[in-house]
Each structure stands twice: as C-alpha cells, then as structure tokens.
Structure 1
Amino acid sequence: MSRTVNRAGEIGSSLPMRSDRFFAAQGEWFFSTREGAPIGPFGDKEDARKGLDDFIEFMSLAEPKTLSRLYAALTD
C-alpha cells in the first residue's frame, strides 16, 4: 500500500504539486526558492542541497523585517 506523507502543517490527502528545486546550468548547480528565484551557483548538487538547508534555516530564524526585505528582493 502506498502512503503519502504530509509536510508539517498540511492537512488531508490533496497535496500541492511539487518539483525538484535543484537544477544545473553551464556546469554549476542552483536551487530555486518557492518564489522561483535561483540561488547559486554551487559546485555540485550536494553543495546546492547544503545551501538550501542553510537558506531554510536562515528563513526560519530571520526577523520579520529581514524576511520582508528578502521576499521583496526575490520577487523583483
């Protein structure tokens, strides 16, 4: 039996469409934010994965004013 695992805060069985956040361009690796902004370059996919982990940690610890400024920069 296949079982779907929800992320924290998700309720029910109807999950949003997800795609791989990592991509390579011209021999370098990037990840994309939820806003669609590319972050990188990184030397390889594992470094990009670590960069994403750092980005998520930063987002979870940042003050609201800092987050507001970052969101504005990512969507410009």
Structure 2
Amino acid sequence: MEKVAIILPELRLMIATGFLGAYTTFSIYGLQSLALMRSSNLLTATGYWLGSAILEIFSVQLVLTIAKFCR
C-alpha cells in the first residue's frame, strides 16, 4: 500500500517552523522578564513586559493592514 500524506510536506514544515519559532521566542521573553524582576529592576522589567506586548499588538495590526492592501 502507498502512504497518502494528509498534510502536505511544505505545510507540515511551515507549521513546525512557526510553532518552534513562537515557542523559543516566548521562552526567551519569559526568561528575560524573570531575570529583570529577579535583579530588582522592576521598572525596567515592567517597561520590557508592557513594551513587548504593545509592540506585538501594533505589529499584528500592521501586518493585517498590509495584507488587506495586498489582496
């Protein structure tokens, strides 16, 4: 019997790459936030945490706007 791929190999690679990229990015984000909090640098930790979240929301909105115009 011949194997039938349920998911295209290219799609599988794209999903795996995206998942691993997101996982490592979030891990480093958490590690850096924790390191800043443990060093008693709460103002910098709060700025880093809020700045990252705000920048992420802004970036998603920017990509959605660009995608809307590229259709």
TM-score (norm 2): 0.35
Greater RCO, 1 or 2 (C-alpha within 8 Å, sep 6+):
1
Return the structure number with greater helix share.
Answer: 2
User: Which structure has the bigger radius of gyration?
Assistant: 2
Return the structure number with greater strand share.
Answer: 1
